[in-house]
Every structure is written in structure tokens, then in C-alpha cells.
Structure 1
């Protein structure tokens, strides 16, 4: 008899957000959707109350406690909830590092709330990099949905800072990570990578900016010299059109909204945030805490379901290649 697969660890997120109820919705549909097995890192009392409101019963064995008490306060984020969210992340990452779970799926957190209790906290992606003793630059955020995969080269910074943050080195190193992950995590042996320009019309031969000429094109030339199928710089206003999306496996954008606007427009309810380049598997639904609708029974679970499914698929591919 084959060994049973390791479960995933799903963190509870901020208990004032939609995370607890969406996790339970995914659990209630696990057999119907053939989801991989998972446990929840968080508070059993929180999940019990969230389940009561959505009419979902679950076994207490589903939950791994953190030892940090918090209440279920949908729509009302509290300091105790931020402490629990951070503790759940810490416990899940430790279990993944020890090989006791196949990977982690992180429910949404309020970054500012956790920062208020831990000033070293930047975001869940960076937290996972730190937990793996990896440079934060090596943790690459990819947004993946049924229609599109995108990677923002720069993430949470002001638009005015993007040109100074871009460099040939950054583009080359992050694209290498993407190319490797597309093979190991998504099973694409020779991924096609489309790289967007920064400026309108990809700079229009320098008339609308020179970043394409000075930075992006030389980086693409380096990548192609290494055998990576990278193309561009492509004008971003046409890169995501239906007739273009079939020509690449992943699109690399130069800044946050250039990547996230098309992904969320096309795949909002099924978008997954995947962290590439780490020794552990980590995914997350590509939406926030949604405090305004938490506990009202209207939050949709598709992105959480997609994140759990994708984490299981990536973990299985990595295990098969080990």
C-alpha cells in the first residue's frame, strides 16, 4: 500500500477576515472537488464559530492549535487576531521546513495589523523567505489563474520608484527563478516567457523612455543566451489580449498593477498567489481579508479552493522529481 500523502498546512489568516469561513467551505467540498488533504493552523473555537454561521461542522482533529488565543470577530480586526495570524504562519512554515506537511496555503492577513505587533513583518511572501533562510529577493510572487500567469518584477513600492528599482541583474535573476519554477512546479519543460516593457508602447524606440533599451532588452538578451525562451520587451497594452495569451506560458511585468490588473480582471475568483524560488511550497488566494463581508456568508471560496489545489499539485510534482 502506498504511503498516504502528507497534508498541506492552511493558516487561518486574520480571524476577523474571510479566511476561516473560506477554509471551511473548501473543507466541506474536499471530496466533491478531490482536494488534497490539509490541516488548519489556528484556533478551533474560531473555526467552530465560523462553521456555525455557515452551517459547516468539522472534526477538531482538523485544527492544529498555535497556543495563541484569539476570538472570531468578523469585520472587527483586533491585536489578538494579528498575533494569531503571525503565530499560524510561523507554525506552518516550521512544519513545512521539517517535512511534516507537503506545503502551506496562507489565508489572507492584514499586513498593517501584523506590522503593529511585529515591525519586521513586510508580507507573507517575505515571511516565508525568512523562514527558509533565503534572501527575500529570491522569493518571487507569481499570480496564476485559469487564463493567465503573471509575475511583477517590482511589487509593493510607489510607481515613482519603479524605474530606479529595475536593473538588468534583477530581471535576469528573477526570470531565471521563474523559468526553473515553471519546470519544477508546473511541469513545463521549456517555458515561454513574455517580458513586458515599462513605458507605453515599450518605449517606442526611446521616444517614451529608455528603460527598454538600457535595461530590459539587454536582460532578455542575457536570458536568451542562457537558453531561456524569453521574448520582449512587449508593449503591455497588448500583451494580455486574447490572441497574445496563447503565445506564452507566463508574462513578466515591470510593476505591481501591470501584472495584477489583467490577472484580477480575468481570474479574480480563481486567482492564486504562488511563491516561487523557495524550498517550501506556498500558495495563497489572491484576495485580501475582505473585512467588509466577513461573517456574512457571501464570500466566495473559489480562490481558496484553487490555492489548496495548486499547492497540492506543486507538492506532488516536486515529490515526483525528488
Structure 2
């Protein structure tokens, strides 16, 4: 059984609520062993104020057995009620959410837990607390000494990876290179094999321009940059095709013809993905030496403390982290030719 640490995210956001609802869900698999890395008092306050009928919270310490039918919590902060209110982060909540992440990585590196699932954080609050990272992914890359990381959005019907992520749309064409596309195809293929247990994955590559350039009529990126990368990947025996027109490739992938789509920019991949997986999508960070999945949404300060947040993305993320841990152990234990 894998132990998955759930970092609580920003205490003032919906992280505490969705964690409680996750543990209260009667469909929670008995084969899962999640542990919360967060603040027990915040969880108790959230349960009381929102009337969430969840299992009792129990104190957990590394190396100790888990108490059945409880919410095991490694208590990492003591935030007084006067320090914050729902929907209003502070410097103290920023420090706390960063500490949860740091502890999660440390516990994995010490082989105490197997992976982490992260609840949402607020980037501006993280920065105000003295942590100079754009977000979770960059912080995890720094903590693990990783240079190149990739964001995959994963669902049961569609998986997408992105050549460019958080940048202005006008800067995207200059950032798309054959090397970047090539590297992403490799990382995507390797993850589908090792993390998702797909022995011979099929990958589609989306074009940048309408109709994938229409033979360079609407742009030359497909002909000059993307197609050469695809052909190079094929020579490495990767089953990859494209570039395809973006307006049709996602339908084809969601219909089961491809295991993942390599996308050129953020919204190209995330619009179709969230159309299909708005409630149960999972953000997976590829390239890290640790297993990390995340909910596919933000802190949602506007609804924090109102009892309306859905825990489905968290449930999907924990289950996927557990599955990836198992798949990696199987893959890594098999003799390689």
C-alpha cells in the first residue's frame, strides 16, 4: 500500500474543505493510505463551521502506524483563528502552505511516504511569504534539484502536455523549437509507459496554426519546426503522429485513438481538457524524481468557507498518485533489456 501525502494548500482557501469531503466520501477506497500534511486545528474548524460529517482527526507522526477510520494529520502549523478568515490569505498562511510542501518532499526523499498530492496555493501569497517561485511546480523543481519539468493534465478520456505554459500568447511562436517539441514528446512517451502503465503509447501532436498551417498557407511552424521534431521522434521508435489540426485532434484523442496530445500552448490544451474533465482533472508534474499530482483548480477564495467546493479533483489526484507510485515500482523492478 502506498502512502500519499496530501499537502493542505492555502489554509484560507478550499483546501481544508475538499480534504474533509474527500475523507468523508463513502466511496473512498480502503486500499488508499492518505495522510494530510497541514494544520489539524484548521481542519477541525472547517468541519465544525461547515457541518461536514467526516471521520475524526488523528495525530500522525512519521514512522507511526495509521489509526483506522480517522483523518491522519501531520500537524505542521498552528494558525490561530484570529490570524486569517476564509478567503483572506495572509503572510502566515503563505508560510504554512510552503512548509507543507517542503515537508512533503522531505518525507518522500526519506522514504517515509511514497508521493504527494497538492491542494491549491496562492502564488502571490507564496511570494509575500518570502518564497520566490511562480508556483508549485517551480518550487518542487528547486526542492528536488530538477531542471526540466513538464505539466501534464490527465483524465480518463484525455491527457495533454504543453510545450509552452504560462506566457503571453504573442510570445508562443518564438518559444516553439524542434528541440522543445522533441523533448516533450520524449517525456510524454516515457511517462505514459512508466507512470501510466501503457506499454506502447500512441501520441498525437497538435499544430500551432489553424488547419495545422494548411501547407504553410497560415504559417510555417508546422512545416519548419513541428513536423521535423515528429519525424525525429519516429526515428527513435516512438509512436507519434502529426502535426494535426487543433480543431480535430482532441476529438480523435478523446475517442481513444491516442493516449496523449502534445500541445503548443496553454489554452490550446486546457480548453478541451477542462471541457471534458472540469471536475475530475488532475495536474501531474512529469520529470520530477518524486511522484506529484495536484488538483486541477485554484484556491477559489471566492467560495472558501461556503461549503460548496467539490472534492472530485482531489479524489482523482490522490487515486492517480497512488496508481503512478504502483506503476513506477513495477516498471523500475522489471529487468531492462
- 1:171 paired residue number: 181
Partners of 1:60 and 1:312 in 2: CA distance: 22
Measure how far apart 1:320 and its partner are. 2.1
Q: 1:56 aligns with which of 35, 54, 67?
A: 54
Q: 1:85 aligns with which of 91, 97, 108?
A: 97
Partners of 1:242 and 1:231 in 2: CA distance: 12
Partners of 2:56 and 2:170 in 1: CA distance: 48
Partners of 2:301 and 2:31 in 1: CA distance: 26
User: CA 1:70/1:212 → structure 2, altered by over 3 Å: closer, same or farther?
Assistant: farther
- 1:17 paired residue number: 13
Measure how far apart 1:74 and its partner are. 1.5
- 1:203 paired residue number: 213
User: CA 1:122/1:32 → structure 2, altered by over 3 Å: closer, same or farther?
Assistant: closer
Q: Normalising by structure 2, report the TM-score.
A: 0.90
Measure how far apart 1:29 and its partner are. 2.5
Measure how far apart 1:151 and its partner are. 0.9
Higher helix share: 1
Residue 295 (str. 1) matches residue 305 (str. 2): yes
Matched position secondary structure for 1:223? helix
Q: Is the 8 A contact 2:149 2:285 kept in 1?
A: yes
Aligned-residue CA RMSD (Å): 1.6
Matched position secondary structure for 1:275? strand
Q: 2:197 aligns with which of 174, 180, 187?
A: 187
Q: Is the 8 A contact 1:35 1:308 kept in 2?
A: no
Matched position secondary structure for 1:269? coil
Residue 249 (str. 1) matches residue 259 (str. 2): yes
User: CA 1:44/1:119 → structure 2, altered by over 3 Å: closer, same or farther?
Assistant: closer
Measure how far apart 1:68 and its partner are. 6.1
Q: 1:217 aligns with which of 200, 224, 227?
A: 227
Partners of 2:229 and 2:253 in 1: CA distance: 26
Deviations 1:204-251 (A, max 9, x none): 111111111111011101100100111100110111225863210000
User: CA 1:278/1:162 → structure 2, altered by over 3 Å: closer, same or farther?
Assistant: same
Residue 37 (str. 1) matches residue 49 (str. 2): no
In structure 2, stretches of 5+ residues that fail to align are: 60-71, 333-337
Matched position secondary structure for 1:134? coil
Q: Is the 8 A contact 2:40 2:73 kept in 1?
A: yes
Q: Is the 8 A contact 2:141 2:149 kept in 1?
A: yes
Q: Is the 8 A contact 1:75 1:294 kept in 2?
A: yes
Measure how far apart 1:55 and its partner are. 3.2
Deviations 1:68-104 (A, max 9, x none): 6465622112221111111111110111122111100
Q: Is the 8 A contact 2:117 2:293 kept in 1?
A: yes
Matched position secondary structure for 1:8? strand
- 1:117 paired residue number: 129
Partners of 1:243 and 1:104 in 2: CA distance: 28
Q: Is the 8 A contact 1:70 1:84 kept in 2?
A: no
Q: Is the 8 A contact 1:35 1:309 kept in 2?
A: no
Measure how far apart 1:152 and its partner are. 1.4
Measure how far apart 1:32 and its partner are. 4.1
Q: 2:42 aligns with which of 27, 42, 46?
A: 46
Measure how far apart 1:307 and its partner are. 0.3
Matched position secondary structure for 2:36? strand
- 1:159 paired residue number: 169
